Amino acid sequence: MQKNKKISKNFILTVIAIAVLIAILGFLQADSINYSYAITIIERSCIYAVAAVSMNLMIGFAGQFSLGTAGFMCLGAYVAGILTMPVEIRDQVYYLYGMAGWLHDIRLPLIAALLVAGIIGAALAALVGWPVLRLKSDYLAIATLGFSEIVRAICGWDGLGSITNASYGLSNIPAFKNVFEAVGICAACIIVMLLMIHSSYGRAFRAIRDNDVAAEAMGINLFHTKQLAFVVSSFFATVSGGLLAVFLRSATSSTFTVALTYNILLMVVLGGIGSVTGSVVGAFLITGGQEWLRFLDQTYYIGNFQIPLLRTGFRMVVFSLLLMIVVLFWNRGLMGSKEFSWDGLFGIFKRRRKTK
């Protein structure tokens, strides 16, 4: 009886939280012109949250140190951008190379384009994973990082100008209709990954992470399980790249550098390796923090006296120092390997009351 009461209580609190979130998003969307900056931060954070959770699926749950996220995001950005771009403006975008005839009139809705992008990314991951996943630790990281750079170079190659528009990239990609579309798609992606993590496949991932020898002795096929984790992770990383292209309304290979992979890895580490909730929190904290500290990049004067240090780039210096402080005090990340729960949240307040 007590357990049923606890479940109903948690369910009611979750419904209330979702209703509050929808109300906040509705309030922002109703006056989207004045709240465009806040909407921008929310949409970007949600997209990076999908990428962070997909990376955490591979690193935190399967125990495979892969750094190919930016490459799959680049692939997803170009596929989704090409398939959603209005047909009537394609000749203007591809004014130098001309768009390939077999591709020119193909246009899909956003959801369908993201699914196609994800399937292509998953197929490529299955192909690349065959030799790469036989490597371990740092060697796997280097191999996947090299793969990421190869994808980026191919997307900007002149030889594929009729498909990717080479170094000119894609533009005039239709934006999200509203903030609900962006948040809804991202939430659906994270929920699917969360369901998989809590399924029998997720238990196999964690078994390999904790002890691959014992996992193999229990009958788990190490290679096939690692490949499944890599394919699923790559699918959602590719989808997140497509979402980012829609958010930016453009796609260029220069956007998806190694720095993007490191930025997403930072979100995973800050939130907690092995925590889906932590990856989401890390994505919002880092994306929001980088934006909220933007005032530090501006030069200020008091009369004729210029305030020292405040100039372009100082924002990242302060932000990096703050991250170092957080990591020093929470060396396992903000969430560790735990997930958010209402009982855990209320437990924090109870412990604080007892200490007082």
Helix 276-292 / helix 314-329 crossing angle, nearest 10 deg: 150
Please state, as a whole number, how many other Cβ atoms lie within 10 Å of the Cβ of residue 354: 7
Grouping H, G, I as helix, E, B as strand and the rest as coil, residue 313 is coil
The domain ranges of the chain are 40-259
Contact 237, 56 (CB under 8 A): no
Contact 114, 277 (CB under 8 A): no
Average pLDDT over all residues of the chain: 89
- Please give the chain's pLDDT, 356 residues, in tens: 555 666 677 888 889 999 999 999 999 999 999 999 999 999 999 999 999 999 999 999 999 999 999 999 999 999 999 999 999 999 999 999 999 999 999 999 999 999 999 999 999 999 999 888 888 778 889 999 999 999 999 999 999 999 999 989 999 999 999 999 999 999 999 999 999 999 999 999 999 988 888 888 888 998 899 999 999 999 999 999 999 999 999 999 999 999 899 999 999 999 999 899 999 999 999 999 888 877 777 776 776 777 666 677 777 777 778 777 877 777 788 888 888 887 777 766 665 566 55
Q: What is the pTM of this model?
A: 0.92
Contact 111, 174 (CB under 8 A): no
Contact 233, 244 (CB under 8 A): no
* CA-based end-to-end distance of the chain: 33
Adjacent-strand bridge partners of 250: 171
